[in-house]
Amino acid sequence: MENQKSFDGTLSADEFYIAANTLCEKWKSANTGLPDWTWVPYKRMPSGASYNDGYLSLESIYHIKFPKDPVKSRNLSEEDEEPVDSATLVHVPSNVIHAYDFHIAYSHSYRDPVLYFNGHRSDGQPLDLDEMQKDLPEYSQKLLTESKWTFITVEEHPYLHQPWYMLHPCGTSDWMKLLLHGRPDAADYLISWLSVVGQTVGLRVPISLVSSCAKHDSI
């Protein structure tokens, strides 16, 4: 990324760590009404690594499916930020409240971030792919039907070693190259990346975050 001429849409493990910190800070200051992204450091034994190993985590994002209102993402714990009619909530059967956890890990193979996610019902029961599929935006549902094995699949989480859903990263560098117009800034990489990737799973990045990056980019 340092050499702009040869920017190929990828980033190094060190740049990923820098970008992760930027995402955490900007997300927090943007008052999204959602929980904060946090960096989860990981001590490998043995490490075999000189960089800061770990992953980004955003947990307990609630997805409520109201009978007539198609899709709404809200965080129930931040009621004062974005008022939620608790009277309505009482009537929502527990099986339509789905909580999602999102993790972003660095792939040394693709030299790009990879999104992992997992969902469970409010009673803690994990969601299966069919249930989760219904929570996805329409275009992702379509893509998932067309390419069952190459879009979202269940993979071993690289740090937790449990089955998690993974958005396949092949092609990330191609569209990141276009998205950043050859004006890469390692720090803002993840925000730009998440603004695209988040949409495929219904996680919206606040517009204020993205525009702050665009401003920075044009200086």
Partner 1 sequence: MDLYSEDAARFVWEGAIPIQIRLHESQVTTLPPPPPVQILGPRIGYLPLLVSSIKPHFNDTLPPGSDSVWFEYKGLPLKWYIPTGVLFDLLCAEPERPWNLTVHFRGYPGETLTPCDGEDSVKWSFINSLKEAAYIINGNCKNVMNMSQPDQSELWQSFTKGNMDGYTRVSSKLKLGPFGEDSAVKITAGRIPIRLYLRILGDDVYHLEDVTAVESWDSISYINRPVEIHREEGEEGHYITFKKAMKCLLPEFFDDETSEPDHVFVQREDNDFDAANENSKITGAGAVMSCPEEQKCADLAFVKPHSTKKVNQIKLIRIQGIEVDLEIPFFWVVNNLKNPEYYLHICVYMGSSLNHA
One residue of 28, 72, 108, 142 binding partner 1 per CB under 8 A: 108
Name which of 40 and 214 has its Cβ closer to partner 1.
Answer: 40
Total residues contacting partner 1 by CB under 8 A comes to: 25
**Residues with catalytic function:** 170
Residue 217 · residue 199 · CB < 8 Å:
no
One residue of 4, 29, 31, 47 binding partner 1 per CB under 8 A: 47
C-alpha span between 153 and 165 (Å, rounded): 6
Residue 61 · residue 117 · CB < 8 Å:
no
Query: With CB under 8 A as the contact rule, which of the stretches 57-65, 81-89, 165-173, 179-187 interacts with partner 1?
Result: 165-173
CB of 183 to partner 1, least distance (A): 21
Residue 157 · residue 103 · CB < 8 Å:
yes
Helix axes of 189-200 and 172-179: crossing angle, nearest 10 degrees = 120
C-alpha span between 15 and 20 (Å, rounded): 8
CB of 90 to partner 1, least distance (A): 31
One residue of 86, 94, 162, 218 binding partner 1 per CB under 8 A: 162
One residue of 12, 133, 153, 200 binding partner 1 per CB under 8 A: 153
Q: Which positions touch partner 1 (CB under 8 A)?
A: 8, 44-48, 50, 108-110, 126, 149-150, 153-156, 158, 161-163, 168, 170-171, 174
